[in-house]
């Protein structure tokens, strides 16, 4: 009976992962998602502050100070990186990671951009554009979408989702980065509270080396890496209607020897290479793209950017991965 209960819980956990619901738990702690787009509606705004009041040790005083202030300093808006033709791929990726980091990690307990993994790539790229306009703090899944958007004009760089499930003190933790491959080397872009769980320079000769680098980082935080999910290469066409393949391979790391893990990752690398050169589904026509519109901006929303000064969220530090 106990085994059946555990099995049901694991199955439910897998279903949540399949639908992207792992990003609804931050280190095992539930958080909200802004599903109303921008400008942020009043209900979402007040709910965020109530959540802050529950999780911050000095929330009442903090909230009062911030919400009643009339002279809050203006927060600088990071500039989207642009490149010269002579800028190398590693330099471009480092600049993109610097931009992602400058947006800062979102500690508010409310994810500002709703990411549904089942959406077509063109819709997710609309959300990425919204991220650059709003310049708000983001979480790891948002960083993956933004990384895809910012590397679309780099045809020599292949991108793929790389997600992790780790365990610490009986709790499961979920994280995702954007794996990158170019010139025979692997690396990663992303966002995390932990410096060594996001960006990885283009210096890893194999996918195995890259995964083992992340596994070592997890060990440094006393986490056991349980599972790795690796997606296929993502199309460079921002108007593609295909979906991102988030989990072409699912590898239970803790059940494999190092040699078995290496063989599984080599097999996935071969599978990814086969996709290069395959004909992608045709992009929608201009009329169809116009009819699709932005998936997160309602028809009644004004076409302007809400500045951080108008609606600013407190920054909070936590100890989760």
Query: Which residues neighbour 263 within 8 Å (Cβ) at sequence distance 6 or greater?
Result: none
- Does 116 or 321 have the greater pLDDT score? 116
Q: Is the pLDDT of residue 307 over 60?
A: no
Instruction: Give the model's pLDDT for residue 178.
Output: 98
Residue 110: strand pairing partners: 32
pLDDT at 225 over 90: yes
Q: Is residue 130 part of a domain?
A: yes
139-166 average pLDDT score: 96
Structural tokens at position 293: 């519109």
For residue 210, being part of any structural domain is answered with yes
Q: Could you tell me the CA-to-CA distances from 23 to 17, 181, 207, 316, 320 in Å, in that order? A: 8, 25, 24, 18, 14
pLDDT band at 22 (very low <50, low <70, confident <90, very high): very low
Residue range(s) defining the domain that contains residue 171:
90-104+124-276
User: Which range, of 9-18, 46-55, 186-195, averages the lowest pLDDT?
Assistant: 9-18
**Residue 218 maps to a domain:** yes
- In a domain, residue 147? The reply is yes
Inside any domain, residue 270: yes
Which of residues 254 and 305 earns the better pLDDT score?
A: 254
**pLDDT the model gives residue 50:** 86
Q: What is the pLDDT of residue 70?
A: 84
Q: Is the pLDDT of residue 277 over 90?
A: no
* pLDDT of res. 312: 42
Cα–Cα dist 41/46, whole Å: 9
In a domain, 2, yes or no: no
Residue 118: phi and psi, rounded to 5, are -80, -5
Look at residue 18 and tell me whether its pLDDT is greater than 80. Answer: no
How far is the C-alpha of 179 from the C-alpha of 231, rounded, in Å?
A: 9
Q: Does residue 31 lie within any of the structural domains?
A: no
294 is catalytic: no
Question: Which of these is catalytic: 107, 140, 240, 313?
Answer: 140
Long-range Cβ contact pairs of 32-36 (< 8 A, separation 24 or more)? 32/109, 32/110, 32/111, 33/110, 33/111, 33/114, 34/110, 34/111, 34/112, 34/113, 34/114, 35/114, 36/298
Share of the chain above pLDDT 90, in %: 62
pLDDT average, residue stretch 250-275: 92
- Which strands sit side by side in the sheet containing 158-168, from one edge to the other? 200-204, 185-189, 171-182, 158-168, 224-230, 249-251
List the catalytic residue out of 166, 182, 192, 240: 192
Highest-scoring range by mean pLDDT, 55-69, 82-96, 305-319: 82-96
156 inside domain: yes
Per-residue pLDDT at 30 exceeds 80: no
pLDDT of residue 278: 57
Mean pLDDT over residues 121-125, rounded?
97
Which residue stretches of the chain are H helix?
2-18, 42-55, 59-68, 89-103, 121-134, 140-150, 207-220, 258-275, 286-292
- What was the pLDDT predicted at 51? 84
Mean pLDDT for 120-148 is 97
pLDDT at 213 over 50: yes
In the set 107, 175, 236, 268, the catalytic residue is 175
Average pLDDT over residues 106-110: 89
Q: Is residue 295's pLDDT more than 80? A: no
- Average pLDDT for residues 295-311, to the nearest whole number? 44
Catalytic residue status for 175: yes
Q: Which of 137-141, 148-152, 153-157, 275-279 has the lowest mean pLDDT?
A: 275-279
How much is the mean pLDDT over the chain? 82
State the pLDDT at residue 283. 53
Please tell me the predicted confidence (pLDDT) of residue 109.
87
pLDDT class of 184 with cuts at 50, 70, 90: very high
**How many other C-beta atoms can be found within 10 angstroms of the C-beta atom of residue 300?**
7
Q: 239 near 122, Cβ under 8 Å?
A: yes
**Banded pLDDT at 16 (limits 50, 70, 90):** very low
- CB 188, CB 178: distance < 8 Å: yes
- Residue 313 is among the residues annotated as catalytic for this protein: no
């Amino acid at each position: 009976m106990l085994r059946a209960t555990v099995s049901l819980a694991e199955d439910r956990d897998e279903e949540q992962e399949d639908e992207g619901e792992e990003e609804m738990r931050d280190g095992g702690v539930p958080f909200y998602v802004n599903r109303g787009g921008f400008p942020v509606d009043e209900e979402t705004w007040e709910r965020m502050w109530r959540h802050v009041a529950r999780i911050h040790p000095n929330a009442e005083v903090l909230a009062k100070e911030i919400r009643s202030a009339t002279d809050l300093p203006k927060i600088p808006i990071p500039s989207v990186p642009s490149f010269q033709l002579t800028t190398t791929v590693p330099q471009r990726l480092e600049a993109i990671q610097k931009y992602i980091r400058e947006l800062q990690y979102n500690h508010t307990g409310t994810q500002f951009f709703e990411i549904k993994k089942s959406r077509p790539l063109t819709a997710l790229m609309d959300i990425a554009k919204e991220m650059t306009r709003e310049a708000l703090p983001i979480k790891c899944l948002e960083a993956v979408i933004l990384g895809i958007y910012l590397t679309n004009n780099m045809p020599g760089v292949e991108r793929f989702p790389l997600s992790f499930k780790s365990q610490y003190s009986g709790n499961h933790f979920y994280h995702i980065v954007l794996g990158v491959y170019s010139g025979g080397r692997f690396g990663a872009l992303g966002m995390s509270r932990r410096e060594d769980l996001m960006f990885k320079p283009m210096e890893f000769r194999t996918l195995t080396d890259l995964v083992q680098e992340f596994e070592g980082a997890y060990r440094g935080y006393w986490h056991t890496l349980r599972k790795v999910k690796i997606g296929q290469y993502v199309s460079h066409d921002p108007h593609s209607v295909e979906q991102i393949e988030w989990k072409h391979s699912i590898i239970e790391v803790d059940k494999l020897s190092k040699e078995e893990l290496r063989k599984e990752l080599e097999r996935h690398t071969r599978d990814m290479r086969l996709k290069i050169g395959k004909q992608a589904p045709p992009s929608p026509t201009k009329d169809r793209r116009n009819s699709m519109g932005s998936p997160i901006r309602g028809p009644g929303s004004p076409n302007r950017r809400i500045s951080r000064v108008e609606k600013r969220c407190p920054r909070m530090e936590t100890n989760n991965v």
